[in-house]
Amino acid sequence: MSSAPGTGLPEAVRALAEADFGAVAQRFRDAGFTVALPASGILTVRSAEPDANRASVLVSVGVHGDETGPIEMVAYLLDALSRTPRALAVDLMVCVGNIDAIRLGKRFIDADLNRMFRAQRGALAGTFEAGRADVLIDATRAFFDGSGPARWHLDLHTAIRPSYYPMFAIVPELIADGARERLIGWMGEAGIEAIIMNPASAGTYSYFTAEHLGAAGTTVELGRVGTLGQNDLSQFAAASGALDRLLRGQPAQQANAAPRVFATAQSIMKLSDAFSMSVGRETWNFTPMHKGDVIAQDGETVYTVQHDEELVVFPNPDVRVGLRAGIMVVRIS
């Protein structure tokens, strides 16, 4: 069974996985929108008359090529929306992040694309993904340049390991209060159970748009990694519904429950090849650890739990030296 896009996929899914926007772009163009394909994998659909009150929404998928669930979800949503194009109530940018990795069914070609959205790339500067990030940064700047103050960026992922909260999101702390409240409200509607407030950039796409382009940007983890064409889309029903209402400018529905909010207690950085971790890649996200527990060691540096309880998220001792090997979080609301 191949995970690469190919025959047998529903047409809408095949098209988005290959960043083939032809049919969707034409429907919006025929309806009078200003449509552009500024780079491979990127579609923008704008109102013909500029309107500062119109929200600008960037939806990105496939930044990690093996995270196919959001590609399927957005493919069906975009295809349906394009068939009633005048229902689109926002300026929209759709970004298919790592097309080459998607084609190969891989997470990335050379290195993690979602660590490249920063000026300092060190040893990663010459990688395939560094070049791709430059393309995405230019197109994203151009999209938000001159748009009104209501700016959203939903970067949709799926997690590579199980999680005590299968649907969760990372939100940069620097997003202004009002925009942050609207974003968190949307997340409740989307079935997001937990939010991690992040105080510092790890080079992610959504932190970049929040920090530099004034967007309410967030990295959303929607369930588990699956094979393109074989994802259980029922797990994305709430998220898909909430995204559809956002793009159509429809009022939010009552959230099932407000997401739990966590603060970042510490980031575990891999400083050298001597790095070792007491939790591994198989550890579930939001696994609790207790005060004094050793999280990781790196030569002289020992990372221990400082609060009565901290929960570990994204533990991965195999990241490159200089990158984040995990986050410890504490619940704040």
Query: Is 132 an interacting residue with respect to Zn ion (CB under 5 A)?
Result: no
> Of the candidates 157, 206, 215, 228, which one interacts with Zn ion according to CB under 5 A?
157
Binding mask 208-247 for Zn ion (x = CB under 5 A): ----------------------------------------
Please give the angle made by the CA atoms of 182, 115 and 237, to the nearest 5 degrees.
40
Q: Of 161, 308, 146, give the one whose Cα is nearest residue 223.
A: 161
Name the residue nearer to Zn ion (CB basis): 161 or 307: 161
Choose the binding region for Zn ion from 95-103, 124-132, 153-161, 209-217 (rule: CB under 5 A).
153-161
| Residue 309 is among the residues annotated as catalytic for this protein | no
Choose the binding region for Zn ion from 64-72, 134-142, 164-172, 265-273 (rule: CB under 5 A).
64-72
Query: Is 46 an interacting residue with respect to Zn ion (CB under 5 A)?
Result: no
DSSP symbols for 230-281 = ---GGGGHHHHHHHHHHHHTPPPPPPSSPPEEEEEEEEEE--STT-EESS-T
3-state secondary structure of 309: strand
**What is the number of other CB atoms lying within 10 angstroms of the CB of residue 157?**
26
Choose the binding region for Zn ion from 65-73, 169-177, 186-194, 287-295 (rule: CB under 5 A).
65-73
Query: Is 107 an interacting residue with respect to Zn ion (CB under 5 A)?
Result: no
Name the residue nearer to Zn ion (CB basis): 27 or 157: 157
Q: How many residues does the chain have?
A: 333
Place of tokens 């409240």: 181
The answer to whether the CB of 261 falls within 8 A of the CB of 309 is: no
Which residue among the candidates 221, 300, 309, 310 is catalytic per the annotation?
A: 221
Contact positions toward Zn ion, by CB under 5 A? Answer: 64, 67, 157
The catalytic site residues sit at 221
